[in-house]
Structure 1
Amino acid sequence: MNTTALARLRSWMETQGFVRFFVQQPENFAWLTGGGDNTVVTFRPVGAWLEITRDTVRLHSSQIEAGRLLDEEVPGIEVVRYAWYSPPSSEGPNDVEHDLTALRLVLSEKEQAHYRSLGQDAATALGESLRFADPDWSEYELAGAIAEELLSKGIQPLVLLVAGEERLFRYRHPIPKQRPLGRLFMGVICGRRHGLVANVSRLRSFGHPEAQHLNRQICQVEAAALEASRPGATLGEVLEKIRAGYNGIGRASEFENHHQGGLTGYRSREVLARPGNPTKLEPGMVLAWNPSLSGAKVEDTFLLTETGLENLTTDLKWPMMRVEGRLRPMVFEG
C-alpha cells in the first residue's frame, strides 16, 4: 500500500466525518495501492473496490478477479468475495460521489522515482518507433509499432495518436487511420505504468519545408509555460502566459483550437488548465503542457521541484535545441 496516500485519505475522511470510504476509480485504486490495477477494460474499473476505515483496508472483489488481484496487485490484503452474477449494492461515501483529485496531486519520493523510470521508458519507446518509421507506412503501422514498444516495457497506452502529413495540419486529436505518413508525421502517447501516466509528443520529417520553423514557433509558446510554472503560481496564471506566447508569434487564434495541458499524474490530465483556474502549483506536482499549431506540437512531462522543472521524458537519442535555456525536442529529420 501507498502509506502516504492512505494517511492523506484518512485525514481527509476525518475532516468529512466518514468512518469508512469506498474506492473504485482506477486512478485512486492505483494511488492507494502503490500502482495496483483494478481494470480489465482500459481505464475502467472492474468489479473490485477498496473499503477504507480508520484502521483497516479491505478489498471487495468478484470471484473472477479476486485471485489475480491478490496475487499480482494487492498481495496480503483482506478480501471479501462475491459471485460475479450478484454484485452487492454499494452503500456509503465513495470516490464516484467525492472527487479525490486534490489529494493525489503532490507525489511522494517513491512515486517520483516510479515516474522517472516510466518517463524515460515512454520517451524511448516513442522515439524508437518514430526513428524506425518510413514515409510509406500507414498511420496504423506506426501506431502498431508504438504500441509494441510501449507494451514491451510494461506501459499501457491510454492515448495513442498518429497523424501523417495529410491529417497533421487538419486535426489536433488524430486517431490513427489507414493513411500514409508522408513527409511529416507525429506520434502522441499517454502511457500508464504503476498507475502513473507519462505524456509525450514527437514529430519526424522527411524534408518537409515547414517542419522546423513550426517547431521553433511552438517551442517559443511552450517556453512561456515552462518559465511560468513555478511554485505558488496558479494554473490560470500560467495559461495566460501561454496565451501571450501565441500572441508573441503572431498566432493568437491558435490558443482556441486545443487545450494547453495542465497537471498530470494518475490521469493524463489530473487538472486541465482553464482560464482563471486557481489551483496553485507545489513541488511534487507533475505538469504536461501541450501547446500546438496546425502542423506542430510539443509535449513532455515535467516534475516541479523546489529548484525548477525536471523533464521526466527526455530522450537522449532525440535531437534537441536550446530554447530560453532549456533543451527541447526538434523535429527528427530524415
Structure 2
Amino acid sequence: MRHEALAKLKAWMEAQGFERFFVVRPENFAWLTGGINTLGMGEPVAYLEVGEEIILHTTEIEARRMAEEEAPGLPLRAHPWYAFPPPGSPNDLGNDLTALRLVLEDEAQEAFLRLGQTAARAVGEVVRSATPEWRETALAGALAEALWGAGVRPLLLLVAGEERLFRHRHPLPKDRPLGRAFMAVVCAERGGLVANLTRMAAFGHPEVEARYRTVLEVERRALDRSRPKTTLGEVLEAIREAYLQAGFPGAFEEHHQGGVGGYRSREILATPGHPLVLEEGMALAWNPSLAGAKVEDTFLLKKDGLLNLTEDPSWPQVRVGDRARPDLWRGEW
C-alpha cells in the first residue's frame, strides 16, 4: 500500500464519518496500492475493504494471481465466482475520490517520470522509423509492440496519415498510407498512472508545418499560465485567447484542450470557468490542436515550474519561448 495515499483516504473517511469504506474503481485501487491491476476483461475482479484492517476481496479464479503477482502480502478473502458479493456501502462508486488523487505523492511522481520517459522513448523510436509508405495500422502495431516491450500498457493508440490528418481529431488507425505527414497519439499506463503524448512527422508538407507552429504557440500560452494558485478556467481562457490571436477563433470549440492527468488520461477536463486551483504535485496534459496538427506532453507542476515527464532526448526539439518542445520529425536528426 502507498502509505501517503492511504493516509489521505483515512483522513477523508474520518471527516465523512465512515468507519469502513469499499474501493472498487481501478484508478483508486492503483492510487492506493501503487498499481494493482484489478481488471479482468475490462471489469474489476476485486475490491478493497478499508477499515481497521485492509482486506482484498476477489474470486477464487483470481485469488492466486492477485496473491502472487498483484498484491503479495495483502490480506485476501477469496469468494466463489458464482457468489462474489458486491462491495458494501459506502464505496467509491457513490463517492468520488478524484480530489484526493490530484496532488501526486512523492513516490507516484517518481514513478510517473519513469513511465513518461519510457513511453516517450518507445514512441519516438517507432515514429522515427516510419516512412510514408507505411500503413496507419502498421504504425499502431509497431507502437503497441514497443510499448508492451518496455513494460507499458497502451490504453489508447491513435494514428492519422496525410489522407485523414485534416479530417479527424480522434483517428483510430485504418488501412491507409501514412503519406507525407502523420500523427501518433498515445495514452500509456503503468502502475495505474497514465502518460499522454503526441508526436508528428512531416516530409515536405508546408501546411502541416505552419499549423504545427501555431499549436506550439497556443501551448506556450497554456504552459506559461500553468502555475500554482491559477485555476483551470484561467488556463483555458489563455488558450482561447491564443487561438483568437493566431487567427483560428473556432478551433477552441472543435476539440477539448486537456486538463489534469494522473490515474486517468484526464482526471479533470478543463472547461470554461472551471474553479479547480492548480497545486504543486499535479500532472497536466494540454493538447491544443488544429485540423492537421496537435502537440501534447504530460507535465508535473512543481514549485519552480513545469517538469516535462514525457520528454524524449532523442527527438528533435524546437525552442518555444523559454522551453524546448518537440519539433516535427522530418526524417533526419
TM range (shorter): over 0.9
Q: Output aligned runs, 1:45-84, within 5 Å.
A: 45-53=43-51, 55-84=52-81
Q: Output aligned runs, 1:115-194, within 5 Å.
A: 115-194=112-191
Report % sequence identity.
56
Gaps of 5+ in 2: none
What's the CA shift for 1:40?
2.7
Matched, 1:221 2:191: no
C-alpha distance in 2 between matches for 1:49 and 1:89? 9
C-alpha distance in 2 between matches for 1:305 and 1:209? 36
Q: Structure 2: which amino acid aligns with 1:279?
A: L
C-alpha distance in 1 between matches for 2:40 and 2:195? 20
Q: 1:245 corresponds to which residue?
A: 242
Q: 1:105 corresponds to which residue?
A: 102
Contact 2:47-2:87 within 8 A present in 1 as well? no
- Indicate the SS of the match to 1:225: helix
C-alpha distance in 2 between matches for 1:90 and 1:48? 9
What's the CA shift for 1:86?
1.8
Q: Structure 2: which amino acid aligns with 1:22?
A: F
Deviations 1:53-84 (A, max 9, x none): 1x211000011111111111111111111111
- Indicate the SS of the match to 1:174: coil
C-alpha distance in 2 between matches for 1:45 and 1:101? 20
Deviations 1:175-206 (A, max 9, x none): 11111111100000010001100100000112
Moved over 2 A (4+): none
- Indicate the SS of the match to 1:333: coil
Matched, 1:298 2:299: no
What's the CA shift for 1:45?
3.8
Deviations 1:198-246 (A, max 9, x none): 1000001122222221111110000010000000000001000000010
What's the CA shift for 1:85?
1.7
- Indicate the SS of the match to 1:85: helix
Matched, 1:15 2:12: no
C-alpha distance in 2 between matches for 1:89 and 1:110? 31
Q: Structure 1: which amino acid aligns with 2:15?
A: T
Q: Structure 2: which amino acid aligns with 1:139?
A: E
Contact 1:25-1:45 within 8 A present in 2 as well? no
* Equivalent in 303, 308, 311 of residue 308 of structure 2: 311
Q: 2:230 corresponds to which residue?
A: 233
What's the RMSD between the two structures over aligned residues?
0.9
C-alpha distance in 1 between matches for 2:287 and 2:144? 21
Q: 2:29 corresponds to which residue?
A: 29
C-alpha distance in 2 between matches for 1:152 and 1:89? 36
Q: 220-229 or 78-87: which moved more?
A: 78-87
Q: 2:200 corresponds to which residue?
A: 203
C-alpha distance in 2 between matches for 1:37 and 1:313? 23
C-alpha distance in 1 between matches for 2:43 and 2:86? 16
What's the CA shift for 1:136?
1.1
Count of aligned pairs between the two proteins: 331
C-alpha distance in 1 between matches for 2:299 and 2:255? 20
What's the CA shift for 1:90?
2.7
Matched, 1:91 2:88: yes
Q: Output aligned runs, 1:314-329, within 5 Å.
A: 314-329=311-326
Q: Structure 2: which amino acid aligns with 1:223?
A: R
TM-score normalised by length of structure 2 = 0.98
Deviations 1:264-314 (A, max 9, x none): 000000000000111110000000000000100000000000010000111
C-alpha distance in 2 between matches for 1:290 and 1:134? 25
C-alpha distance in 2 between matches for 1:36 and 1:165? 39
What's the CA shift for 1:34?
1.1
What's the CA shift for 1:35?
1.4
- Indicate the SS of the match to 2:83: coil
Gaps of 5+ in 1: none
- Indicate the SS of the match to 1:303: strand
Q: Structure 2: which amino acid aligns with 1:253?
A: G
